[in-house]
Chains A and B, each alone.
Chain A
Amino acid sequence: MAKPAPLLQGTLDLIVLELLRSEPTNGYDLAQRIQAVSRDVLQVNAGSLYPALYRLEERGLVKAAWKETDTGRRAKVYSLTAAGRKALESQRAEWARFAGALSHILKRA
């Protein structure tokens, strides 16, 4: 297994927003899903994830509620707000432009 890649600066918010768009989830599952969806390429530790979640919550992009999980544990479940959805759209577009530009540069090399 290859060593997990470090997250690019500023991309964690985008990843969190994108994953929450498809399904509201709690912090632990979110971490696991980032790893799974990226096929183990990206790994996010709790020390980055939770501050990111709280920051997004404070900016009003995600909201949180306590829910009971299947295993009977209480878990704080995060979901996107309307503002979060909008922010995701604009960040996604920005990322697409940035990634396009980047791959263009790299292809030329």
Chain B
Amino acid sequence: MTAVRRMLLRLRAVFLFGRMQREMDEEMRAHVERAADRYMARGMSRAEATVAARREFGNATVIASDARDARGARWAEALVTDIRVALRAMRATPALTLVITLTLALGIGATTAIYSIVDGVLLRPLPYRAPESLVVLHDVQRTDRDLPASFPEYVDWRQRTTSIFSDVGALIWHGEVLSGSGDAEQLQGAETSANVLSMLGVTPTLGRAFRADEDLPSAPRVVMLSDDLWKRRFNADSTIIGRSITLTGQPFVVIGVYHASPTAVLPQGNTFAHGKAPDFWEPLRLSERNSPRGVHYISVIARLRPGVTAAAASVRLAAVEGQLEKDRATTHGIAMLPLATELVGNLRAPLALLLGSVVLVLIVACANIANLLLARTTARRRELAVRAALGAGRLRVTWHVLLEGIVRATIGGVCGILLALGTVSAARHFLREIPRISEVTLDVRALLIAAALSIATGMLASLVPALRASRGDLVSDLREGARGVSGGRDRVRHALVIAQIAVSFTLLVTGALLGRSFERLTHAPNGFDPRDLVTASTWLPDSRYPDSVSQIAFNTRLGDAVARRFGATNVALTSDLPVGGGTSGDITIVGRVFAAGQAPMVQKRVVSHGYFSVLHARLVSGRLFAAGDVLGAPHVAIVNEAFVKRWFPTESPLGHQITFDWNTSGPQTIVGVVADVREGPLDQAAPPAVYAPSEQVPNTFMNMIVRTDRDPSGVEAVYRDALREIDPALPVLQVRTMSDWIASGIARRRLTASILGAFAVAALLLAAVGLYGVISYSVTQRMREFGVRAALGAVTGDLVRLVFTQVAGWIVIGVAAGAVAGLAAGKLVSAQLYGITQTDPWAFGASAVLLAIVGGMAAFAPTWRAARADPLEALHAD
């Protein structure tokens, strides 16, 4: 008990050191004052009384010291003093302190932040039951890979793969407008086949999940709500089960509530890109009748049967593919991808590179700290030897050095944590379009590992020479003096610096390759001018807009209403936005015969008359759509140059007829050819496309494109007003600028490029810091040599050259080694490159120049010091 008590008091003494001191001072001052009062009462003057009282009291300092000892405060006092000494030592070497703080901050901060992001976005398993056996099935075609499936295909796949998959389900992303209680609100959810929820392991927290027959077109409308929506809109009222709510004008019976994990992203491209969980699940009530074979828009998820490996599944899928080819006279194949790969892309290669870089940057940071502290402690050997000679105990000397290390490490570590926090929150802010990024938090384990590693390195590096010094190799250390440095240790130091340069060069090159690809991609010709474009969309329910006439009438009316505000030449409609996936399907060309299943596959677009002029697309030949191209008039179509190159390489397509096989009756005559607007992903060549006029061909999902310098909210207000006027029950979907839409399509590339770029910058800074440390140390050691040289007639230029030759040597060797590694790393990311090769001279050259500049800057201050070497001073310095 007393031991514990004493320890507590001692701890209190540490923390309340200042307060205790003040209290003791006050108590003793009061004592002296009271004694003085007594003397004054006896008739002394105040001055005499004070002197007498002080004399009576005795030596206050000695008493205070005795008193403190009695309170167990000596230990605390010693610690405070030691920390003060350590802080003074740090102030005395500001450059070293700055460099170590920077190194620790970068080493701990950058690596932890980047690891946290990579882990949160890419590595953490999906929050589904047994996520590793979940796969996604795609349609594969001659020209297009990874198409969504059509409904009949999905049915075929499900029926014929029962030996491979325990479950096959369909899913599409779907918007609804909730109205009835409070303001109408746009929701985003999913329509799925009845089995998808149980396949993913999503169980209702209230009510029930879908029954097997609820995804039939004839089934009554039911819906499951996310718990978030349920709390927000229905006050977590459990009587909601069985009640009817209104979604986009239709009654739906609520059957259940489920927990929506925000990390539960689902497949289907950009719509899920914000990492938002679906607000609701509805059964996908489709049939082959309302969803023909040519319309590809369904994501197919499947779960591998236990014991079936991915490789075995691929082999059996190929057999199914062959069977389907015969039975359905089709060339569409099946491709299988793990769900995780589908969601974040095949990032294995860049991921390996990223995680490798985390380790490398950490090693470089540790090497830096070791390097700097070794240099520092070696330079202090004489000081330590003197201290030991004056009688400081071995423990005391070691303790001092260690404490200095601890204080430095603590400051650097705190900066590192702040840097990591800042980087993570910046990433969450600036990389919003990356799936799951909103869930990224600082990984505490990674933080602890990085901090422990770099701090331990620092302590070890400072401790080893200290132990040596305290062991009492006094005579040689005293004699050796400040020049006590061994050549071997220098070589290790230099090798470390060169390794650092090589690592940072490799990362710079990789970052530059990806950054340049990204840059090229964002500036890739789209065939249209994406500036000042805002898009918005809505969805027409089949039930209320059942036929061509009503759908066409609606689309025309909406377009006109918005055009009244922005001008007819600035408003266009299209069934799919450019630079995305889009809807594709087969066409036939009248008068040509294609083998079964060999019919041309094209991107199909239904667009309003103004589409090409609003996008600033170029007409190559023929004409654009005109006012006469309406329902009832002869069917017309426009094709793009890719189409012409493919199927009309030698003749003009104008006047030829094609069948669209998509909600149209009879063939369409090609009346115009336009330059390619990118109707597919940015990083692929423009696909062949066929356009039909929206006043002639109906479509239930139309995107509006408005050319305006107003921001999206201004467009949204107008769009909303127009909709309300025409049909208040319809939702306003996806209002955004065209630039945002394009950016979301290449978000994944942006993430990889940003992360690697951040690493490259961190590594570059670390290399600069290391370079500075080593050169600075080396110059200090050689000051006498420089002085002698100056005395012998060397001019400033000679001295500068002396230092810079060494630095340039290191950089050249480092860059050469880094270039070799860069070529290997380039191979790893070659799949991610666009428009450049992995040996892109620009990336290599710019990286080398940047490194040389930064290296030169790091060497500048020490070189300047060397150049001003004073012969006299140098000769006098021991």
State whether A51 touches B70 (Cβ < 8 A). yes
State whether B69 touches A75 (Cβ < 8 A). no
A35 to B: closest C-beta gap in Å: 11
A100 to B: closest C-beta gap in Å: 30
State whether A58 touches B30 (Cβ < 8 A). no
Write the A34-52 contact mask toward B (1 if CB under 8 angstroms, else 0).
0000000000011100111
Q: A45-B58, A51-B69, A76-B27 are in contact. Are A28 and B35 (CB under 8 A)?
A: yes
State whether A50 touches B28 (Cβ < 8 A). yes
Q: A46-B57, A46-B58, A51-B63 are in contact. Are A74 and B26 (CB under 8 A)?
A: yes
B276 to A: closest C-beta gap in Å: 60
- Chain A residues positioned under 8 Å from B67 (CB to CB): 50-51, 54
Number of interface residues of B (CB under 8 A): 26
For chain A, what secondary structure do more than half of its interface residues adopt (helix, strand, loop), or is it mixed?
A: helix
State whether B30 touches A74 (Cβ < 8 A). yes
Which of B2-10, B115-123, B581-589 contacts its partner? Answer: B2-10
State whether A47 touches B69 (Cβ < 8 A). no
Q: A47-B63, A74-B26 are in contact. Are A54 and B58 (CB under 8 A)?
A: no
A32 to B: closest C-beta gap in Å: 8
State whether B26 touches A54 (Cβ < 8 A). no
- Chain B residues positioned under 8 Å from A54 (CB to CB): 67, 70-71
Residue A60, interface by CB 8 Å: yes
CA distance A54 to B63 in the complex (A): 12
Write the B659-673 contact mask toward A (1 if CB under 8 angstroms, else 0).
000000000000000
Considering only residues 34-84 of chain B, those with a C-beta below 8 Å from chain A are: 34-35, 56-59, 62-63, 66-67, 69-72
CA distance A58 to B74 in the complex (A): 14
- Chain A residues positioned under 8 Å from B71 (CB to CB): 54, 57-58
CA distance A54 to B23 in the complex (A): 12
State whether A50 touches B27 (Cβ < 8 A). yes
Contacts across chains A and B counted by CB atoms under 8 Å: 62
- Chain A residues positioned under 8 Å from B24 (CB to CB): 50
CA distance A28 to B59 in the complex (A): 16
Q: Which of B23, B24, B70, B71 has the most CB of A within 10 A?
A: B70
Residue B33, interface by CB 8 Å: yes
CA distance A54 to B31 in the complex (A): 15
Number of interface residues of A (CB under 8 A): 21
State whether A28 touches B70 (Cβ < 8 A). no
- Chain A residues positioned under 8 Å from B6 (CB to CB): 58
Considering only residues 65-121 of chain B, those with a C-beta below 8 Å from chain A are: 66-67, 69-72
Considering only residues 65-108 of chain A, those with a C-beta below 8 Å from chain B are: 66, 73-76
State whether A28 touches B66 (Cβ < 8 A). no
- Chain B residues positioned under 8 Å from A27 (CB to CB): 27, 30-31
Q: Which residue of B lies closest to A76 (CB)?
A: B27
State whether A47 touches B58 (Cβ < 8 A). yes
- Chain B residues positioned under 8 Å from A45 (CB to CB): 56-58
CA distance A107 to B29 in the complex (A): 46
State whether A28 touches B2 (Cβ < 8 A). no
B61 to A: closest C-beta gap in Å: 11
- Chain A residues positioned under 8 Å from B58 (CB to CB): 45-47
A51 to B: closest C-beta gap in Å: 4
Write the A3-45 contact mask toward B (1 if CB under 8 angstroms, else 0).
0000000000000000000000011100100000000000001
CA distance A55 to B30 in the complex (A): 20
Q: A55-B70, A58-B71 are in contact. Are A28 and B30 (CB under 8 A)?
A: yes
- Chain A residues positioned under 8 Å from B56 (CB to CB): 45-46
Q: Which residue of A lies closest to B1 (CB)?
A: A60
State whether B31 touches A59 (Cβ < 8 A). no
Q: Which residue of A lies closest to B72 (CB)?
A: A58
CA distance A51 to B63 in the complex (A): 8
Q: Which residue of B lies closest to A75 (CB)?
A: B30
Q: A55-B70, A76-B23 are in contact. Are A50 and B2 (CB under 8 A)?
A: no
A21 to B: closest C-beta gap in Å: 21
- Chain A residues positioned under 8 Å from B34 (CB to CB): 28, 73
Q: Which residue of B lies closest to A59 (CB)?
A: B2
Q: Which residue of B lies closest to A50 (CB)?
A: B67
CA distance A31 to B34 in the complex (A): 11
- Chain B residues positioned under 8 Å from A28 (CB to CB): 30-31, 34-35
CA distance A28 to B28 in the complex (A): 9
- Chain A residues positioned under 8 Å from B59 (CB to CB): 47
- Chain A residues positioned under 8 Å from B31 (CB to CB): 27-28, 31, 46
A5 to B: closest C-beta gap in Å: 17
- Chain B residues positioned under 8 Å from A51 (CB to CB): 63, 66-67, 69-70
Write the B789-818 contact mask toward A (1 if CB under 8 angstroms, else 0).
000000000000000000000000000000
- Chain A residues positioned under 8 Å from B9 (CB to CB): 58
- Chain B residues positioned under 8 Å from A58 (CB to CB): 6, 9, 70-72
Q: A74-B26, A76-B23, A76-B27 are in contact. Are A50 and B33 (CB under 8 A)?
A: no
Considering only residues 407-447 of chain B, those with a C-beta below 8 Å from chain A are: none
CA distance A45 to B31 in the complex (A): 11
CA distance A57 to B20 in the complex (A): 13
CA distance A76 to B27 in the complex (A): 7
A69 to B: closest C-beta gap in Å: 9
- Chain B residues positioned under 8 Å from A66 (CB to CB): 23
CA distance A104 to B9 in the complex (A): 43
- Chain B residues positioned under 8 Å from A75 (CB to CB): 27, 30
Q: Which of B23, B31, B62 has the most CB of A within 10 A?
A: B31
Q: A46-B63, A50-B28, A60-B5 are in contact. Are A73 and B70 (CB under 8 A)?
A: no
Q: Which residue of A lies closest to B65 (CB)?
A: A51
- Chain A residues positioned under 8 Å from B57 (CB to CB): 45-46
Q: Which residue of B lies closest to A43 (CB)?
A: B56
CA distance A24 to B390 in the complex (A): 49
A70 to B: closest C-beta gap in Å: 12
User: B26, B28, B33, B70: which contacts A46 (Cβ < 8 A)?
Assistant: B28
A63 to B: closest C-beta gap in Å: 12
CA distance A52 to B70 in the complex (A): 8
- Chain B residues positioned under 8 Å from A47 (CB to CB): 58-59, 62-63, 66
Q: Which residue of A lies closest to B31 (CB)?
A: A28
- Chain A residues positioned under 8 Å from B62 (CB to CB): 47
B193 to A: closest C-beta gap in Å: 75
A90 to B: closest C-beta gap in Å: 16
CA distance A52 to B66 in the complex (A): 10
CA distance A33 to B66 in the complex (A): 23
- Chain B residues positioned under 8 Å from A55 (CB to CB): 70
CA distance A54 to B27 in the complex (A): 12
- Chain A residues positioned under 8 Å from B69 (CB to CB): 51
CA distance A27 to B63 in the complex (A): 14
- Chain A residues positioned under 8 Å from B72 (CB to CB): 58
B463 to A: closest C-beta gap in Å: 34
B23 to A: closest C-beta gap in Å: 7
B342 to A: closest C-beta gap in Å: 69
- Chain B residues positioned under 8 Å from A59 (CB to CB): 2
B560 to A: closest C-beta gap in Å: 85
CA distance A75 to B33 in the complex (A): 11
Q: A58-B6, A58-B70, A76-B23 are in contact. Are A50 and B30 (CB under 8 A)?
A: no
Q: Which of A28, A59, A75 has the most CB of B within 10 A?
A: A28
Q: Which residue of A lies closest to B57 (CB)?
A: A46
User: A26, A50, A60: which contacts B63 (Cβ < 8 A)?
Assistant: A50
Q: Which residue of B lies closest to A66 (CB)?
A: B23
Please report A residues at the B interface, Cβ cutoff 8 Å: 26-28, 31, 45-47, 50-52, 54-55, 57-60, 66, 73-76
18 contacts between A and B (CB under 8 A): A27-B30, A28-B31, A28-B34, A28-B35, A31-B31, A45-B56, A45-B58, A46-B31, A50-B24, A50-B28, A50-B67, A50-B70, A55-B70, A58-B70, A59-B2, A60-B5, A74-B26, A76-B26
Nearest 4 interchain pairs by C-beta: A54-B70, A51-B70, A28-B34, A47-B58
Starting from the known contacts A46-B63, A47-B58, 7 additional A-B residue pairs (CB-CB under 8 Å) come to: A26-B27, A47-B66, A51-B66, A51-B70, A54-B70, A54-B71, A76-B30
